Chains A and B, each alone.
Chain A
Amino acid sequence: MSDCHTPSSNQASVVQAVAGVPTIALAGQPNMGKSTLFNLLTGLNQHVGNWPGKTIEKKEGFFKHNGREYHLVDLPGTYSLTANSPEEVIAREYILRQKPDLVLAVVSAANLERSLYLVSELAALPCRLVIALNMVDVAGQEGIEVDAGKLSTAVGVPVIPLVATHARGVDDLLQAIHMELQSPTQKERSMPDIRADHRQVRSDLEVLILPYLPPGYPPAWCALKLLEGDAEMQGLVRAAVPAGTSKQVDDILLKHDDAFLAIASGRYAWIESMLRTAVHGQRAGQISITDRLDRYATHPVSGLAILAGILGLVFWLTFTIGSPIQNALAKGVVVPLASMTGTLLAGAPFWLRGLVVDGLIGGVGSVLTFLPILMIFFGAFSLLEDVGYMARAAYVMDNFMHWMGLHGKSFLPLFLGFGCNVPAVLGTRTIESRQARLLTIILAPLVPCTARMAVLAFLTPAFFGPNAVIVSWGLILFSLVLLVVAGVILNRVLFKGERSAFVMELPLYHTPNLRTTGMLVWQRSLSFIKKAGTTILGISMIVWALSVLPNGNVETSYLASVGRALEPIGRWMGLDWRLTVALLTSFMAKENSIATLGVLFGGLTKAGLAQTISAAYSASTGLAFLTVSLLFIPCAATVAVIRQETGSWRWTFLNIGLMLALSVGIASGVYAIANAMGV
């Protein structure tokens, strides 16, 4: 490629040595091992929050090395720093505005060519940089040998070989980070340049925008982003420059709308020159394990069979292991605890006993027993993701998702919805097209989350005895069929049958890392316990209070009045005021319906709550209640993220309205049919 540039270099610059606790930002493309390294360094000393104004997970933590403390921030995994998605904007704004003391770029030795692409962008930013050359073990297996020393000399940045999953090379890495933070000068760095034919345009643009850029934004870099067609950067520049300049900029961009290719080619040419010096041994065209497995896993027929098998196994595990544990906890811990506390508090005032026994233990306790189910599901999901299988699942589901005008990528968030709808809605971020994303978000609440499935698992055995399994599966299957039908119709009505683009990397298969999975399960459990301790606790208390006020009698309580006011609608579905109230409180958290029934049916008798309830209602009422619970409006947390992610109340209300109409309509129908059939 003779028309390509020769790598240029920037001046060695003097930088301040870092005082205090230095901040290190972890950057890298997806699946390079960033999170593995992050977890390894910080252990449990980490905090998961959100990026300001965004709902993308922000992970921060602290660690110590040789008595020095460091602050570590896990940036979202991004292929580049062009604003293709919010992740990329977050990553680059963090680096430019928050100015971390050092950026640690994680790359894969097994796939340097692609993973250096992000480095080629990072190298052009004014920040200290260290490269973690991860997965040298995988590279070794594939016969690729990377000379870290030569790579380091070529790029002008320290490069440390690493196997994050086995903590190999971590000491060297931390030592290099320490040295880099101490060093008063920044070495000369090799940087990619735009292909020669576009250099003049770049510098023209640079001169135009130079006086107006916000501090911290390197003009050359901004000019490149403009040429790359980066909408975010174009907006920023348009807002900053005077009208005349804006016109000039637009003219240049219009004339050179193919410049992005010259830029990308320049970066790959830079990468190729790095590879020529540092990489030896080529995969000699041998068929890797990944290719061999993919012959089956991504085959249109066997791929679907494998997916069905795996999903079946996940649910089987979740419910054959999770449900008995849940029952055991309910019968063995919650019930005895309630009766013990009841005896203990026998002398206490009536309200205190009620609050603790019915509100706290009956409500929150019942809900906490769902934890095992949640843990098993998220454990399984995380393992599949970690192995690299989920991308294959998306791939084989692509054809099927087309019916709804969606593509394979929408399958992953929807599947995640079986765990919890909140991460499902957040997970739609990986879908580039706004329409596909909106549709996926609207459909997500139709996926029964563990909370709803736990309610199902809790009540069906009581109502349907030996047929419980069939009824549960039937209901779940029914809601999935509904999802597809709703998807097809909504796509026609809202988006006129348009379809969005599908591009996705299929990562190499990995042996799963138990630490990664353990961490995810731990974090999900923690947030569930937090929810039980806050939202569900609060609602349980309020429900309990409303159920005894004003005169201590449930039948004449405020809650009963609310329930009776809405009972006419409940009647369509065969629900009395108690079930109606239970349904309403499920808006705050789906598990609440159980908690509420726990409060309303007071004393957890030896038979347990489920039995008490099933004795009180007919099977057709039970079926209608299960149906409406499964399809009812999304819980408050889900509504909140739907609002955030769609950025519109209209879509949010459309979604709520849809679920309300579907749930009440269908449950009424189910009740009528069940009665007619004499269930």
Chain B
Amino acid sequence: MDSTRNTTLADLHSGEQATITSLGRGSGIQGRLTALGFTPGAKLTVMQNYGRGPLVVALRGARVALGRREAGAIQVLPLPI
């Protein structure tokens, strides 16, 4: 596993896929995130990221909107396209 390829969810572009490596800490919404399918190892697709404003992410068969700051706290490993 090449750890330099680790990045945050907020840095992924529309259409990119990635695996979650960590949810980050202290945001106080981890409970929400896990219930919505965000767990380490889960695969996601970025449906929408216009570089500003919230993102839309598809994971576990559902679409979830996520604030930019929240997405910035989530570490992911991009999957080769």
With A261-B39, A264-B39 as known contacts, state yes or no: A501 contacts B28, CB within 8 Å: yes
Least CB distance, A151 to chain B, in whole angstroms: 15
**B window 40-71: CB within 8 A of A:** 40-42, 47-48, 50, 52-54, 56, 60-67, 69-70
Q: Is the CB of B31 within 8 A of A80?
A: yes
Q: Is the CB of B35 within 8 A of A84?
A: yes
Q: Is the CB of B62 within 8 A of A291?
A: no
Q: Which of A110-118, A466-474, A657-665 contacts B (4 or more CB under 8 A)?
A: A110-118
Q: Is the CB of A501 within 8 A of B29?
A: yes
User: For the complex, is A346 an interface residue (Cβ under 8 Å from B)?
Assistant: no
User: For the complex, is A651 an interface residue (Cβ under 8 Å from B)?
Assistant: no
Q: Is the CB of B56 within 8 A of A294?
A: yes
Residue of A290, A398, A503 touching B32 (CB-CB under 8 A): A503
Contact with B along A284-298 (1 / 0, CB 8 A): 000000110010001
Q: Is the CB of A114 within 8 A of B62?
A: yes
Q: Is the CB of A111 within 8 A of B40?
A: no
Contact with A along B14-30 (1 / 0, CB 8 A): 00000000010001111
User: For the complex, is A34 an interface residue (Cβ under 8 Å from B)?
Assistant: no
Q: Is the CB of A260 within 8 A of B34?
A: yes
| Bound Cα distance from A80 to B60, whole angstroms | 15
Q: Is the CB of B23 within 8 A of A503?
A: no
Residues of A within 8 A of B23 (CB): 261
Residues of B within 8 A of A117 (CB): 35, 37
Least CB distance, A573 to chain B, in whole angstroms: 41
**A window 360-412: CB within 8 A of B:** 391, 394-395, 398-399, 407-408
Q: Is the CB of B53 within 8 A of A399?
A: yes
| Bound Cα distance from A351 to B42, whole angstroms | 74
Contact with A along B70-81 (1 / 0, CB 8 A): 100000000000
Q: Is the CB of A506 within 8 A of B32?
A: no
With A395-B56, A503-B70 as known contacts, state yes or no: A80 contacts B35, CB within 8 Å: yes
Q: Is the CB of A113 within 8 A of B67?
A: no
- Residue among A110, A114, A407 with the most chain B CB within 10 A? A114
Q: Is the CB of A264 within 8 A of B34?
A: yes
Residue of A261, A264, A391, A503 touching B66 (CB-CB under 8 A): A503
Q: Is the CB of A79 within 8 A of B40?
A: no
Q: Is the CB of B54 within 8 A of A502?
A: yes
Least CB distance, A215 to chain B, in whole angstroms: 26
Q: Is the CB of B34 within 8 A of A501?
A: no
| Bound Cα distance from A290 to B23, whole angstroms | 27
With A260-B34, A300-B53, A504-B65 as known contacts, state yes or no: A1 contacts B28, CB within 8 Å: no
Q: Is the CB of B41 within 8 A of A399?
A: no
Residues of A within 8 A of B33 (CB): 503
Residues of A within 8 A of B56 (CB): 294, 298, 395, 506
**A window 235-283: CB within 8 A of B:** 260-261, 264-265, 268, 283
Residues of A within 8 A of B32 (CB): 79, 84, 432, 503
Contact with B along A504-541 (1 / 0, CB 8 A): 11110000000000000000000000000000000000
Residue of A82, A230, A407 touching B67 (CB-CB under 8 A): A407
Residues of B within 8 A of A359 (CB): none
User: For the complex, is A499 an interface residue (Cβ under 8 Å from B)?
Assistant: yes
Q: Is the CB of A114 within 8 A of B54?
A: no
Residues of B within 8 A of A505 (CB): 36, 62-65
Residues of A within 8 A of B70 (CB): 501-503
User: For the complex, is A448 an interface residue (Cβ under 8 Å from B)?
Assistant: no
Least CB distance, A38 to chain B, in whole angstroms: 22
Residues of A within 8 A of B30 (CB): 229, 260-261
With A261-B34, A298-B48, A300-B53 as known contacts, state yes or no: A268 contacts B64, CB within 8 Å: no
Residues of B within 8 A of A230 (CB): 31
Q: Is the CB of A391 within 8 A of B36?
A: no
Residues of A within 8 A of B69 (CB): 499, 501
Least CB distance, B67 to chain A, in whole angstroms: 3
- Residue among A110, A229, A502 with the most chain B CB within 10 A? A502
| Bound Cα distance from A113 to B64, whole angstroms | 14
Q: Is the CB of B35 within 8 A of A79?
A: yes
Least CB distance, B21 to chain A, in whole angstroms: 11
Least CB distance, B65 to chain A, in whole angstroms: 5
Residues of B within 8 A of A261 (CB): 23, 30, 34, 39-40
Q: Is the CB of B48 within 8 A of A504?
A: no
Residue of A113, A294, A399 touching B47 (CB-CB under 8 A): A294
Closest residue of chain A to B34, judged by CB? A264
With A432-B29, A505-B63 as known contacts, state yes or no: A408 contacts B54, CB within 8 Å: yes
Q: Is the CB of A290 within 8 A of B63?
A: yes
Given A398-B53, A503-B70, 11 extra CB contacts under 8 A: A80-B35, A114-B61, A268-B42, A298-B65, A395-B65, A399-B54, A499-B69, A502-B54, A502-B70, A503-B66, A506-B64
Name 11 interchain pairs, CB-CB below 8 A, sorted by A. Answer: A111-B60, A291-B47, A300-B50, A399-B53, A408-B65, A432-B29, A501-B28, A502-B66, A503-B70, A504-B65, A505-B63
Residues of B within 8 A of A (CB): 23, 27-37, 39-42, 47-48, 50, 52-54, 56, 60-67, 69-70
Residues of A within 8 A of B (CB): 1, 79-80, 82, 84, 110-114, 117, 228-230, 260-261, 264-265, 268, 283, 290-291, 294, 298, 300, 391, 394-395, 398-399, 407-408, 432, 499, 501-507
